[in-house]
Structure 1
Amino acid sequence: ERVSVWVDALLGTGLNAAVRGLCRAFIERINGARRPVLAVDIPSGLSADTGQILGESIRAAVTVTFGCAKIGHVLFPGVAATGRLEVVDIGIPPHLFDQVSPRHHLLTAPTAAEGLPRRPADSHKGRTGHLVVVAGSPGKSGAAALAAISALRVGAGLVTLAAAEGLNPVLETLTLEAMTAPLPEAAPGVLGPGALEPLLALAREKSCLAVGPGLGLAAATGELVRGLVRRSPCPLVIDADGLNHLAGRLDGLKGLPVEVVITPHPGEMGRLLGATAAEVQSDRIGCARGLAVSLGVHVVLKGARTVIAHPDGAVFVNPTGNAGMAAGGMGDVLTGTIAGLITQGVDPGRAARTAVYLHGAAADTLATAMGPVGFLAGDLMRALPTEIGRLQKET
Structure 2
Amino acid sequence: MSAPVEVTEAVLRARPLPRHEEGEDKDSRGRALVIAGSREVPGGALLAALGTLRAGAGKVRIATCRSVAVPLALAMPEARVIGLAETAAGGIAPAEAAGLAARAEEADAVLVGPGMTDADAAEALAGALLARAAGAGVPFVLDAVALRALRPGATPPGLRGRLVITPHAGEMATLLGIPRDAVLADRLGAARRAAAALRAVVVMKGGGSFVATPEGESFHIARGNVGLATSGSGDTLAGILAGLLARGAAPLDAALWAVFLHGVAGERLAMRQGPVGFLARDLPAEVPGLLARIAAGEDDRGA
Structure 2-normalised TM-score? 0.92
Structure 2: which amino acid aligns with 1:332? D
Residues 49-99 of structure 1: CA deviation (Å, up to 9, x unaligned): 9xxxxxxxxxxxxxxxxxxxxxxxxxxxxxxxxxxxxxxxxxxxxxxxxxx
Give the CA deviation at 1:366. 1.1
Q: Relative CO higher for 1 or 2, CA cutoff 8 Å, sep ≥ 6?
A: 2
| Structure 2 partner of 1:279 | 182
1:186 corresponds in structure 2 to 87
**Which of 189, 196, 199 pairs up with 1:296?**
199
Task: Tell whether 2:215 aligns with 1:319.
Answer: no
1:307 deviates by 0.2
Tell whether 2:14 aligns with 1:110. no
Query: Which amino acid in structure 1 is aligned with residue 142 of structure 2?
Result: I
Runs of 4+ in structure 1 off by over 4 angstroms are none
Q: CA deviation at 1:224?
A: 1.2
Q: Superposition pairs for residues 332-371 of structure 1, below 5 Å?
A: 332-371=235-274
1:385 & 1:372 partners in 2: Cα distance? 22
SS at match of 2:283: helix
CA contact (8 A) 1:254 1:295 kept: no
Q: Matches of 2:154 and 2:66 in 1, distance apart?
A: 27
**Partner letter of residue 203 of structure 2?**
V
Give the match for residue 231 of structure 2: 328
Find the partner of 1:160 among 39, 42, 61: 61
Per the alignment, residue 157 of structure 2 pairs with 255
Corresponding residue number in structure 2 for 1:97: none
- Paired residue secondary structure (1:190): coil
Q: 1:255·1:296 contact (CA, 8 Å) conserved in 2?
A: no
In the alignment, does 2:50 pair up with 1:149?
A: yes
Q: 2:141 aligns with which of 216, 237, 240?
A: 237
Question: Does the 8 Å contact 2:119/2:145 carry over to 1?
Answer: no
Distance (Å, rounded) in 1 between the aligned partners of 2:179 and 2:37: 27
Query: Cα offset for 1:254?
Result: 4.8
Name the SS of the counterpart of 2:87 in structure 1.
strand
In the TM superposition, what whole-angstrom CA distance separates every residue of 1:191-220 from its partner, at most 9, and x where no partner exists? 122201111121123101100001123433
CA distance in 1, matches of 2:120, 2:43: 21
TM-score normalised per structure 1:
0.71
User: How far is 1:117 from its partner?
Assistant: 2.8
* Deviation (angstroms), 1:184: 2.3
2: CA distance, partners of 1:160 / 1:252 = 28
> 1:380 pairs with 283, 294, 297, which one?
283
Instruction: Give the superposition deviation at 1:353.
Output: 0.6
1:174 is aligned to 2:75: yes
Aligned mates of 2:54, 2:164 — CA distance in 1: 20
Is the 8 Å Cα contact of residues 122 and 145 (structure 2) preserved in structure 1? no
CA RMSD for the aligned pairs?
A: 1.7
Q: 1:198 aligns with which of 99, 106, 119?
A: 99
2:122 alignment partner, SS class: helix
* Structure 2 residue identity aligned to 1:210: L
Question: Bigger radius of gyration, 1 or 2?
Answer: 1
Q: Deviations over 1:345-379 (max 9, x none)?
A: 00011100111111101111111121111111011
Deviations along 1:214-272, one digit per CA (max 9) or x if unpaired, are: 112343332211011222221100000111344xx344425234510000011111111
Measure the CA separation in 2 of the matches of 1:271 and 1:186.
24
In the alignment, is the contact (CA less than 8 A) between 1:103 and 1:314 conserved in 2?
no
**Structure 2 residue matching 1:394: 3-state secondary structure:** coil
Contact 1:192 1:222 survives alignment (8 Å): no
Residues 18-37 of structure 1 mapped to structure 2, 5 A cutoff: none
C-alpha distance in 2 between matches for 1:188 and 1:201: 25
Report deviation, 1:188: 6.5
> Structure 2: which amino acid aligns with 1:379?
D
Matched letter for residue 157 of structure 2: G
